Amino acid sequence: MSSTNNDGAAPKLPARRAFLQTTGQAALSATAIAMLVGSESLIRSARAADASKDVSILNVALALEHEAIAAYQLGAESGLLQKPVLDVAVQFQSHHKGHRDALVDTIGKLGGSPVSSKGMGQYAAELKANTLGSQKDVLMLAARLEKGAANAYLGVIPAFQDPALAQVSARLAADETMHWTVLAQALGQPLPANPLSFGA
């Protein structure tokens, strides 16, 4: 990419990255201390500890995404969703598959092992798919799970060691919020009366 394509955005980027890195070091206290002390082995073990904390958060997020994919699968296969709604459900499921792939990739890069998906039968039991009798039931389940997922991603943000991963969590929350908004509209549910209704 040539720098002329960036329309002046390029000079800002390094500064922003430097800022993120500085705050990152402040949060990565164990690593930062190890770096100050200058011990290579300490730095390595502190980094590993920091990464393993983040991996554990990401793996819970991955479990949530596996479940979301399964929930839309159950909805799509239920025969309860009519055409325009079915298409939207399939599109949301594809977003969740994208989230899954991004999380699997990140967990791998951090040296962790990504949790695998449970079987469809188990998801059906855990989500009580047998109680779904109409398109509205499916949409209500999807809306609850999406709102829950948005809040879950917001509520784990302070626990990340790496601010870049905290930002990923916020971006995932934004996607889930978009899904929830569409589902709530389809269900005729009112938008929240108050601001800051999501999160912590």
Q: Taking phi first (over 0 means left), then psi (-120 to 50 degrees means alpha), and beta for anything else, what does residue 9 get? A: alpha
Residues from 57 through 96 that contact another protein (CB under 8 A): 57, 59-60, 63-64, 67
Q: Which helix (H) or strand (E) holds 137?
A: helix 135-155
Q: Distance between CA atoms of 51 and 165, rounded to whole angstroms?
A: 10
Q: Per CB under 8 A, does 184 bind another protein?
A: no
Q: Which of 156, 165, 166, 184 binds another protein (CB under 8 A)?
A: 156
Q: Which of 20, 85, 86, 144 binds another protein (CB under 8 A)?
A: 144
Contact residues for 108 (Cβ-Cβ < 8 A; gap 6+): 114
Residues from 147 through 176 that contact ligand HEC (CB under 6 A): 152, 155-156
Torsion of CA 94, 98, 104, 105, to 10 degrees: 150
Q: Per CB under 6 A, does 26 bind ligand HEC?
A: no
Residues from 41 through 60 that contact another protein (CB under 8 A): 53, 56-57, 59-60
Tokens of 176: 């889930």
Nearer to another protein, 27 or 86 (CB): 27
Q: Which helix (H) or strand (E) holds 1?
A: none
Tokens of 20: 């993120």
Q: How far is the CB of 137 from ligand HEC (least distance, A)?
A: 23
Q: Distance between CA atoms of 121 and 30, rounded to whole angstroms?
A: 43
Q: Per CB under 6 A, does 115 bind ligand HEC?
A: no
Q: How far is the CB of 155 from ligand HEC (least distance, A)?
A: 6
Q: How far is the CB of 78 from ligand HEC (least distance, A)?
A: 25
Nearer to ligand HEC, 20 or 152 (CB): 152
